[in-house]
Amino acid sequence: MPKTQPRSPKSSRPSVRGVPFEVVTSRRRRLHVPHRSRHVPASEWRDYPRPVPEAWALIARDKGFRLHGRIRDRYHVALECRTCGGLTAHKSFTLRTAQPRCGACAEADLADAARAAGLTFLRRDGRNHHYGLYRAACGHVLRV
């Protein structure tokens, strides 16, 4: 009988999947980062000194964004939402082939829904993507 190989320990990457965006605040402006890039440290989200193709700027404009520049590496761009002005990191492939989602607008939607329920949205729960932390009018912090 063949011996089974011991399993390697799981990576330290968060298992949170449904949380749409994480906010990086170590920059001059808040940057919303998609959940699949949450394993990248905040220090890595810095400007990348390469020019951006003009075609990408036109694509971003057509999709409701302004191309702010390249970040982290040659594959990532910072998009500024023309509706709210928030910055969101996306891969250039996402920009070219899909409709990017604005992280600031998504966060505002969560805050609006909480306000309609009489709560104040604090932040997403880091352990389970189905939950968020909210402050009730009485002062208690609820995990809903």
Contact 22, 33 (CB under 8 A): yes
Pairing mode of beta strands 87-91, 31-34: parallel
- Residue 139 φ then ψ, to 5°: 105, -10
In the beta sheet, which residues pair with residue 33? 22
CA-to-CA distance for 120 and 112, rounded, in angstroms? Answer: 9
Query: What's the pLDDT score for residue 13?
Result: 36
Write the pLDDT tens digit of every residue in 109-139.
Answer: 989 999 999 999 998 887 776 788 999 999 9
Helix (H, G, I), strand (E, B) or coil at 110: helix
Quick one: pLDDT at residue 53?
A: 95
